[in-house]
Amino acid sequence: MREDFRNTGFEHWHEHKVLEYLLFRARPRVDTNELAHNLIDACGSFVDVFRAPKEKLTGIPGIGKETAEYVKEMGEFVRYYNGKRFDANRLVLNSENCENYLLNLFDGKEREYFYMVCLDARNRILYRDLIFEGSFESMDLDISKIIRLAVKCDASYVVLAHNHPSGVAKPSAADISSTQMVEGVLQMCGIRLLDHIIVAGGKCASMNKYLRANRGK
């Protein structure tokens, strides 16, 4: 496997073989082929292995605490790398790369997170910040913080994004009211709210599209 990797990298490898190789680096004296199959079978897919909670990983046959921590660290590394790759050179956020950018941002998040992204007049990312963790039902949105950050960055546009760990992308009443409130305050500062994106089930849903589709109902 080491020789194959030196020659071709992971190109054309089956997913279980890639995972087997990664696990071998952590547990060189164990049959990692069986561990790889166990992980993929239990989690549902290669990608979901690196998103699974540590408690779930340690419950899989052959996966101890150290192996579970190694798998979680690998997943966090990939998310960190992608975040840096997207943020390099002030990425222009557009319809083609917006979904990938946001999906990476929320990848592996088991709770609800709320982010804001500040953009300049050319849609280049100026700044990104985690506004809070929790839910709209249990925590009020800090609108003053959003305004302060947007003004401090001299942003022309703002994109809001939060995830629904339930996998259901439909906005709640709190989602809608908070979006409209933020939009109004930003507008008074000469800043446009481009959209509020809900990330759920590995997909992105636009609040703007939802509101337009349901206007008058």
CATH of the domain at 11: 1.10.150
Query: In the structure encoding, which two tokens stand for residue 115, read together?
Result: 């982010």
- Across residues 177-200, what is the average pLDDT? 92
- Across residues 41-66, what is the average pLDDT? 90
Asked if residue 149 and residue 50 are part of one domain, the reply reads: no
What is the extent of the structural domain holding 47? 2-83
CATH code for the domain in which residue 189 is found: 3.40.140.10
In this prediction, residue 86 carries a pLDDT of 63
Among 10-24, 55-69, 82-96, 191-205, which stretch is predicted with the lowest mean pLDDT? 82-96
Number of domains in the chain: 2
Asked if residue 98 and residue 167 are part of one domain, the reply reads: yes
pLDDT digits 0-9 by tens, 124-154: 888 888 888 876 554 467 888 899 999 999 9
Query: In the structure encoding, which two tokens stand for residue 33, read together?
Result: 């082929």
In this prediction, residue 187 carries a pLDDT of 93
- Long-range contacts, stretch 193-196, CB < 8 angstroms, 24+ apart: 193/157, 193/158, 193/159, 193/160, 194/119, 194/157, 194/158, 194/159, 195/159, 195/160, 196/159, 196/160, 196/161, 196/162
| Among 88, 66, 67, 69, CA closest to 77 | 69
Higher pLDDT, 200 or 88: 200
In this prediction, residue 134 carries a pLDDT of 74
Is the pLDDT score of 116 beyond 90? yes
Asked if residue 79 and residue 102 are part of one domain, the reply reads: no
Residue 117, strand partner residues: 128, 159
Asked if residue 191 and residue 107 are part of one domain, the reply reads: yes
The pLDDT confidence band at residue 68, using thresholds 50, 70 and 90, is very high
Distant-in-sequence, close-in-space partners of 34: CB < 8 Å, separation ≥ 6: 62
Given 25, 59, 83, the domain boundary residue is 83
Distance CA 116, CA 130 (A): 7
In this prediction, residue 192 carries a pLDDT of 95
| Residue 155 DSSP class | -
Burial class, 71, CB count within 10 angstroms (exposed 0-12 / middle 13-18 / buried 19+): buried
Give this prediction's pTM: 0.63
Asked if residue 65 and residue 16 are part of one domain, the reply reads: yes
Is the pLDDT score of 216 beyond 80? no
